[in-house]
Every structure is written in C-alpha cells, then in structure tokens.
Structure 1
C-alpha cells in the first residue's frame, strides 16, 4: 500500500473509539452491552466500535420519540421554532463538515472530495426545509352547502422511523430528517450497520443545536434492529432507502397496521445516447453516471443505450477513458474512484461480473480487482464495461450496485424507449441528444421518476426525487417531501342556525 500523506495518516491514526447511541437525549450503550466493529474498506481494518441495539433499546427510543411528540417543547411547536433549530443545525454542520466527511470516508470508501461537497450541502438542506416549515398551507374549500365553512390543515404524521443505507449515509438521512422535523414529527434513526458512525457523530450536533430530548434518537445495529423498529406499533411512518428486496419486506410490515411508508429503492437506470449527441459530453456523463461512488448509487446509469451509428466510436472513447480512471486512497484529492463499501457488496459485484462472462457478455475493460499490489488491502473493483449486452442477460436486469456498465446498441427511438422501459425498476434515466423535439418525446415516454437531459446524476434539495415501479413509493426533496410527513385533516364549521330536522339535512 502506498504510504499515507501526513493528512490521511492523521485521520487513520486516531485511536479506536467506542461510540454510544442517542436515546431520549442520553448517550448510552446497548442494554446488553453488545458492540460491533466499523471496518475501513481501504485498509480492511476496524477503526470504531458501535453498539448493537436490541429490542429493549428500540423500545426505549420509540417511547422517547412518542413522549417528545406529545409533551414538552416540541409538542405542538410553532413552525418558527422548528425552523430556528434547523438553522442552528445548519451552522453546526458547516462548522464540522470536515470531521463529518472524514468519518464517512473511513466507513464506506467514498471519495473525500465528493463526500465533503455532499456534507456542506446538508447545511443548505436544513435552510431549505427551515423555510418550508411555514409553507405547509391548508386550503379553504368553497363547498356548495349553505352556511358551511370548510378548510384543511396539515399535521405531523407522528413518530417516524428513518432507516438509511451505507452509500451516502448522511445525505440520504437528511432527505428524510429535514422534512420530518420541519413538519413537526419526531424521529428514530437506524443507520446501516456498514456506516453507523457518521450518524452518531452527526447526532452530537442535534444536542448542540438545541433539539429537545427524544425528538431525534439514533439506534445502531444490523437488519434485525431495522425490522424491529419498522414493526413497532408506535411508529407511524417508515422512511426507508435501500434494496428493493428489503423495501418489499418493509412494505409488508407496514401494511399489517397500515403505517405510512416512503420507499426509495433500487434502479437499473438507462442512459440513452442518440446519434446526434455531443459524444465527448455524453462519454463524460455516462462515465460519471456509473463510476462515481464506485457505482454504489441507486440512480447509477448502469445501462448505456447507444444508437448503432455511433456505437463503435462511443464504445472506443468510453473504454479509453474508463481505463484511465485512477483508483486509490479515497482521502486523496487525485483519486478518481475509491473502494466498494464492504466485503459482502464486493463479493456480490464480482459474482455478477463472472455471471455476465458466463452468459457471453463481451468484456471491454475491467472485470475484477486491480493487479496493483498497493491496492491489495482495499475492496477495489476496476471500472468494468460489457459491450453489446442483451436485455435478457442478468447483468442487464439485476442491480449490481458497483462499477459495472452495460453497453446496449439500438437502432430507433422506439426501440431505445422499449429497451429503457424493459425493467422492473423506474428510478432514473438519461437522454443525450441535440434534437429538442426528440428530447421532449422521449422524456414523456420513459417510466422513471427523474430524467436528465444532456447531464446525469444531479440532485437538489428543491427537486423531488423518487421512483416508479419497483424503485419505490413517494418522493423525497422539494415541497413534495414535507407533505410525505403530514396528514391532512378536514374541518367543517356550521355557521348557520343548525339543522331543524336531523333526518333531513336540507331542512331549515
């Protein structure tokens, strides 16, 4: 392994620390004192110990959230109060962005430059939803009944379980946390067992910002903890980001008691490159869409559909650039791609690459770990591209969640749309073309929650994000998100003389 620079060495040289959970404003170990290790995917070494919560811990966290919802300063709080706390949190995040970024890189091997930018963005997220707290407008409804005044109000759903993934642990938490808090809910967070520490470090800032005890609680552990939390009868809404398979289990659990759910799940997103596209720009967009974050994003453009007339030239340029991607320490500025986040995911990616070979997919580059002995300790997979992939191949249908791209040729606009929509997923899509009419036609025909045109992998707190089909339910970000965390109440006020005949509402 290459020697660390002084800066990266100091980050990795910190002594191993045992972290605590936050329940009802108190930092605590698991009730049975169990812990588990957080592993740095670049070194393969443990660097932190985290509580392994049990049923008793989940029970305490949910009870604390329920108590804070119904009593104390948060219960019935005014929007301005909630907005003030969110703005305080924003400033604390800005002040502590580097440490929050350091921890995320140690947990999941994502590039420092990307994680730091995302972390600074959390502050803007807080400010946006601080403003949105006072925008939950109800409506007066002019119904055609004499002397009747009717209106609607929006109220918090209640106790929210926020179950978050390991690829962008804080960003995807804030997609849930900010609208939930702005709407007046209380929250129990269960981060992925791969990346729990960043959420615990962030939780220290909740206290400093002045959120009352019980408003935000964090329990850590594996899938059993998440399942226990999702099944708790006092949890009113489950907001989950993760795999489609687990999302279906969450939906079944919620359905048993008709709890509210938001699900942001998997994808197999197409990037459609038409023959009139700016090829260099499209090559860069396709590369960023699949190899950023080592392909570990739900919106990864893992299928590149390229029109036949430009397919060979596009593939040549794409492969040439992919082969120059610099793998290395994710803490270093010049690294272009880091590791896969954990051993389980690493093994899955390699297994699907081998399956693609067995099915006859044409390997154009990559296909496994790098030969560089300096990278041997890390969970690295080379940028991998398969050419002329058939739509019925497993590699074209299953979410890899790694740096693996399928190139699929097409001949016509209709065929491109048919291939793009021939998937159980519907999270995102990209279109590359200079033809404005074609762009508008294609955008409307694609079954995807987000469509980018001549760009890819853009998100913003003011733009809704979510999927169709098996990519999820509901929307995160934008004003649509805050409505996901409210219930609408209808109010009827009779301002007339009353009903003279109770069996004839039209009378008197």
Structure 2
C-alpha cells in the first residue's frame, strides 16, 4: 500500500463551492482525495501507481491521484451493498424526493460545477453550463419516474390472478468517459438510484474531479451514505469492478475496443451490460435545404466539445448542386470560431483533452492529406495569444475536402474537430454510403422534402 501524498489533504466541507480555490485558468491546484466511499472523500486502501491530473487549457499538472486496487474496489462495493439495503426499501416517492433535492442543489451551483468541469476537461464554459443544466434535468426526470415504477396485475381463468413486481438489481457499476464527465455520471446514476439500486462509479482517469462533486451532492441531498461511491483508476480498476462477484450490472461509455473487453469480462459473471461506444455518424445535406441551417448543423455536429463527441456527424454528405456554396460558407464560419481560454464566456472552442490525443488527431489529418484529401482550413496546432495557454492542447478546427469513402479520415472515428465533406448526387447513393461503415450511432438530414403518405 502506498502512503498518502503530501498534496492530498483532508477533505474540507463543501469544498466544491470553490471556497478554497480560484477558478481562474492556470491557478487551480488539486488538494483533496478523489475517491468517495461511505459518504466521504477517502484515500484508496490500496493501489500501485499515481496518475497525473492535467488542466488541458494550460498543459499543467494540477495534482495526482492513486489508482484504486482490488481491496479499495471491494470496500466500495461493500459500502454500496450496505446502503442498498436501506435505499431499496424506500418507496419510489421517497427516492424521488431525495433525487429532486439533488437536482435542486446542482441547479443552484451550476456555475461552480461548470467551472470545475472546464478546468479538468477543457471544453468551453459556455458548453459546460449547458452540460450541467442537462445533468440536473436528467436527475429531475428520473426522480419523477421513481414513484410510478410498478408491476402488473394479470387476471387468470377461474377468478385467480398473477402479479409482477419490479425489484432493483443491487450494486451497479458506472464507467464514464472524459468528454462529458459530470453529465455521464448523472445519466448513469439517476435511473439506477431512482429504481432503488446503489452505484460504484469510475470516471475516466483523464477527468477524475467533477464526479466527486456529484457524490457529495447526493450525500447532501439525503441518500444513504455509501449509496454512490467513486473509485479512481484506469483499466485495472475497471477490471476489478467488472469482475466483482457482488456487482449486478455494468454500464460503460467509451471506445469500442474497451467496450468489447468490458462485455467479455462481465459475461464471465453473467452480468447485464449497457454500452455506449464510438461513432462515425453521417450528416446528409440535400440541395433543397435551408443552407444557413445546414451550415449551423454541420458546425455543431463536428465542433461541439472540440469534436470529442461520439455521435458527431463527421461524415458530411453534401448534394453536388450546393457543394461549392456550402463549402465556402462552412469554411468561412469555421475560421471565425474563437479558440482560447475555455473559462472566458466568449470562447467557443477550448483545448483537446491531452497531448497524446492532440497528436492522434493531428496524425489523422496528416494521413488524410497523404491519401489525397485537401485541408480547406485549420488542422494545425494552435497557440493562443495568452502566454499561460502556450502549453495547452489546442488545434484549429479542420475541414477536409476532396474526401472519398475509403479514406481513413472517413472510415475511422477521429474524436476531434475534423469535418470530412463528401459530395453525392442521389438520395439512394447517399443512403447507401451513409450506412457503409461499422458505426451506426447517430445520423442527421437537412432537407425540405418529405415522402407523401401512402394510402
């Protein structure tokens, strides 16, 4: 067992109100344990290595955390089991009331939480505020459902009857991604808790901070201590969770290769699994569209959260009649996107999550050029004017023209601000090409035309 590090201090009450830190870019320092068990922040009981925590905007290491080992995972599951016994006996109305209080607290503190999300993730504060609003709305929605969950009464022959009842699974595991850390934690925990389950959550090691704020909020709202626990770590910690005999279900958001491994591990214990994985979604723009709307849609579908969104419409199919006009306008507007300090209100694109990911995105662009694509704008490392941001992980949003379906940039998920434009002629052609990849997460269409109803 490793000893506590000097920069991890005892937790301070309600620290997430920013009473002990600055929200100015380049000033935050991580001070408190990032594991949460039994209703409080704790150091892991075991672990074999530390991970650095970065501020993407500046490239600074803002702290470290110890990855949780098998003993810590077991303690977190035990904590969840104990809390589950009390929580599962509450009525749906009682659970809903507590979840409504959690939603209220998040809504009240949305700005503080959004700032922390921006510091650790890099997305603009403008977007982070929207994420936090969606988070409390999600919890509020499932709070409303909690009291209405019921079974069925079935009349049988001879005057007898049968009935069904819904029972919670037990301890559920949530494994989150780094692009929407707080929001994904809410998406996974709200339905689980509403149905009477407990949860152990493992965030991405790249974004370990904000989920602990959610754990504190749940405790403050009134859930039993230990109902929502947080363990930090990478693949090894995730493996301990998936293989734990007392875990009833696993929910994962992330890459296809990792999702495949999680499904394999969970299968050994016959655990149900929910996976939300990668994408290479098509966006089909017909010549009869409202061009202004189509351009706005393409910009959002490619550059939201620096392009680090699994359902982004990165294959933009444009009908040949408007290809030139669309391309000209989308390039113009892309070049006007303000890149820089994500904590500034007028910034619309912050940094990528870390340097390895920045290099990965740049390598995709380089390969696209080698395969014949044309860089119409962007696609280069970006250095903001502010000196404190010079080591941040920025890239200028990129648009690729002259793309073909067999290019790597069109077939593979880049997970960065890179748009591939592909011309098409007919609806049939567009549909066939849109469905030609192994990804099928999302899709979009811009057109005025609707098929007439058949009699």
TM-score by length of 2: 0.90
In 2, Cα distance between the equivalents of 1:168 and 1:422? 28
Partner of 1:111: 124
Deviation digits for residues 247-272 of structure 1 (CA, Å, limit 9, x no counterpart): 11111111122101111111101110
Deviation at 1:302, TM superposition (A): 0.6
Deviation digits for residues 22-65 of structure 1 (CA, Å, limit 9, x no counterpart): 11224210124754331001111122333321111001011121
Contact kept in structure 2, 1:20 and 1:29, CA below 8 Å? yes
Determine whether 1:94 maps to 2:130. no
CA shift in 2, pair 1:354/1:202, >3 Å: same
Q: What is the SS of the residue equivalent to 1:131?
A: helix
Determine whether 1:129 maps to 2:142. yes
Partner of 2:17: none
Partner of 2:61: 46
Contact kept in structure 1, 2:181 and 2:203, CA below 8 Å? yes
Deviation at 1:388, TM superposition (A): 2.7
Determine whether 1:316 maps to 2:322. no
Contact kept in structure 2, 1:266 and 1:399, CA below 8 Å? yes
Q: What is the SS of the residue equivalent to 2:166?
A: strand
In 1, Cα distance between the equivalents of 2:133 and 2:395? 28
Partner of 1:352: 364
Deviation at 1:373, TM superposition (A): 5.6
Q: What is the SS of the residue equivalent to 1:57?
A: helix
Partner of 1:161: 173
In 1, Cα distance between the equivalents of 2:214 and 2:64? 16
Determine whether 1:421 maps to 2:435. yes
In 1, Cα distance between the equivalents of 2:281 and 2:114? 28
Structure 2 stretches of 5 or more lacking a match? 1-20
Deviation digits for residues 416-447 of structure 1 (CA, Å, limit 9, x no counterpart): 11111111111111100011228x99xxxxxx
CA shift in 2, pair 1:10/1:336, >3 Å: closer
Contact kept in structure 2, 1:86 and 1:130, CA below 8 Å? yes
Written as runs of structure 1 = structure 2, the 5 A alignment for 1:1-400 is: 10=24, 12-32=26-46, 35-69=50-84, 71=85, 73-143=86-156, 145-370=157-382, 374=386, 376-400=390-414
In 1, Cα distance between the equivalents of 2:215 and 2:342? 24
Q: What is the SS of the residue equivalent to 2:190?
A: helix
- Count of residue pairs the alignment pairs up: 431
Contact kept in structure 2, 1:8 and 1:332, CA below 8 Å? no
Structure 1 stretches of 5 or more lacking a match? 1-6, 442-508
Task: Name which one, 1 or 2, has greater alpha-carbon Rg.
Answer: 1
Partner of 1:449: none
Deviation at 1:415, TM superposition (A): 0.6
Q: What is the SS of the residue equivalent to 1:47?
A: strand
Partner of 2:3: none
TM-score by length of 1: 0.81
In 2, Cα distance between the equivalents of 1:243 and 1:337? 23
In 2, Cα distance between the equivalents of 1:220 and 1:317? 44
Deviation at 1:240, TM superposition (A): 0.5
In 1, Cα distance between the equivalents of 2:139 and 2:88? 20
Contact kept in structure 1, 2:40 and 2:216, CA below 8 Å? no
Deviation at 1:292, TM superposition (A): 1.3
Query: Aligned-residue CA RMSD in angstroms?
Result: 1.9
Deviation at 1:15, TM superposition (A): 4.2
Partner of 2:6: none
Q: What is the SS of the residue equivalent to 2:451?
A: helix
